[in-house]
Amino acid sequence: MYDLTTFLTLKNRIDWQKNGKKNGPIKLGLIFTGEYPGLNEHLVEEEIIKYFDINNLEEIITVGKREKTFKYANRFAKKFNISITAKRLEHYLWEDIDNDIKRNTLGIIGSCDSVIIFHGDSSKNVVAWFALSSARRIIALRGECVFVSSIPKPTFSGLEKEIFDVLQIQNDDFRMDSFLMEERFFELMSEKRSKFVKYVQIGENMSFKQILFKLSEICMERKDCDFDDGFDHVSRIIMNFLLYLICKDIEDENGFLKTEYVDSYIKSEINPNYYDRISCKAEDVCFVMIYHDWYEFEYLLDVVNYFEDKEDEESCAALCFGKWLTLLQAKGYETEKIIKKYKIIE
């Protein structure tokens, strides 16, 4: 399923680069993640009018006719004489996402130009995040992605609160959708949130050299030195930043990474078995993360799942602690403050 999402993301980006943002009549997708307080055709109409010109709607695409929420979309469509398409329900059997994600999110998103996601059931937070994440990647360039939620923000404390506060910081150099999506991810995905916090705390107690060593191992996990994959992408970004904290010489006078110097440093100081992937080939998901940098956070936690299955706690901690430091830097924390905060780096 991730492969299909990635395919649609890159396909739509190519279309956007050729044709630009779509003008004229649009197809609007409506996704309902579960129960929503006060949901009726009037609420549906209110939200649509808030973000879209009804005269510019060509078609409504939503869930199957047996879903009770279909009647609200149908009533709206009939009122304004707009055609409506009901996608049949499908069941996706994934190990890490519950079966209630049967509302054929990809079927709707892949067929529309813009989408509104109605989320009012906290028990369906995973479904809501999958819908939002997929929509932001697939249609963000060619249309609008509106997330209407009645779910109150969770109450955080301790390290959770510290991380969430950082995620909410708006940095002029940081794309708006990036900080909003990372914030949503942290809010909605409670299991992933707990996992991230757990491994950040473990990483705080690891030596900095061990963290860099584990990251260098993750870079080589897939064993193919002629092909850059998602594992290499997320771990290399973190590793390069951590190296910069202790070795300013990794960048040239123009701010570009001196790759040969970095490789030599890692081999001599961190991991003698390290090798760089000398290739122009890359896994498609790497390009998705380049275009949508917020997705690195979500993908990184999928990589953590992989190493949890291997009972490799230190790799999980290296990824999460390293990502936490990159988040601090991305939100405007000065390098010196990060070094001072975590004396392990000195």
What's the pLDDT score for residue 180? 86
User: Cα–chain-centroid distance for residue 68?
Assistant: 30
% of the chain with per-residue pLDDT over 90? 46
Kindly report, residue by residue over 195-206, the tens digit of the pLDDT.
999 999 999 999
Contact 204, 344 (CB under 8 A): yes
Torsion of CA 51, 55, 58, 61, to 10 degrees: 40
Q: Which of 24, 27, 226 is nearest to 139 (CA)?
A: 27
Q: Cα–Cα distance between 327 and 203 in angstroms, integer?
A: 15
Quick one: pLDDT at residue 281?
79
Can you give the residue ranges of every domain in the chain? 24-149, 190-345
**Which residues are paired to 133 by β-bridges?**
none
CA distance 264 to 153: 46
Q: Which helix (H) or strand (E) holds 148?
A: strand 145-149
Listed range (31-35, 48-52, 122-126, 248-252) with the worst mean pLDDT? 248-252
- Distance (Å, rounded) from C-alpha 219 to C-alpha 306? 14
Predicted local distance difference test score (pLDDT) of residue 66:
66
- In angstroms, the CA 203 to CA 324 distance is 10
Q: Give the integer Cα–Cα distance in Å for 231 and 222.
A: 8
DSSP assignments along 160-193, one per residue: HHHHHHHHT---TTS-HHHHHHHHHHHHH-HHHH
Task: Return d(Cα 79, Cα 81) in angstroms, integer.
Answer: 6
pLDDT in tens, 168-196: 887 665 555 666 899 999 999 999 999 99
Identify the top-confidence range among 79-93, 117-131, 279-293. 117-131
Residues 252-268: tens digit of each pLDDT: 776 676 777 788 888 88
Dihedral angle, C-alpha 189, 192, 198, 200, nearest 10 °: -100
Most confident of 56-70, 116-130, 293-307, 327-341: 293-307
- What does the pLDDT look like over 218-229, one tens digit per residue? 988 876 656 778
CB atoms within 10 A of CB 98: 13
25 pLDDT more than 60: yes
Model pLDDT for residues 60-107, shown as the tens digit of each residue: 998 766 677 788 889 999 999 999 998 876 555 444 344 444 446 778
Query: With contact defined as beta carbons under 8 Å apart, do 132 and 117 qualify?
Result: yes
pLDDT at site 124:
86
Dihedral sign for Cα atoms in the order 137, 138, 139, 141? positive
Quote the pLDDT of residue 29: 93
Higher pLDDT: 341 or 208? It is 208
CATH topology (fold) of 24-149: Rossmann fold (3.40.50)
Q: Which residues contact 216 (CB under 8 A, 6 or more apart)?
A: 235, 239, 266, 270, 271, 274
Q: Rounded mean pLDDT of 208-225?
A: 86
pLDDT, position 14: 85
The b/e string for 280-298 (b: 16+ C-beta within 10 A; e otherwise) is eebbebbebbeebbbbbbb
* Residue range 116-122: mean pLDDT, rounded: 91
pLDDT band, residue 280 (cuts 50/70/90): low
Decide: pTM greater than 0.85: yes
What's the mean pLDDT when you consider all of the chain? 85
Paired sense of beta strands 26-32 and 114-119, if any? parallel
Rounded Cα–Cα distance for residues 144 and 117 (Å): 11
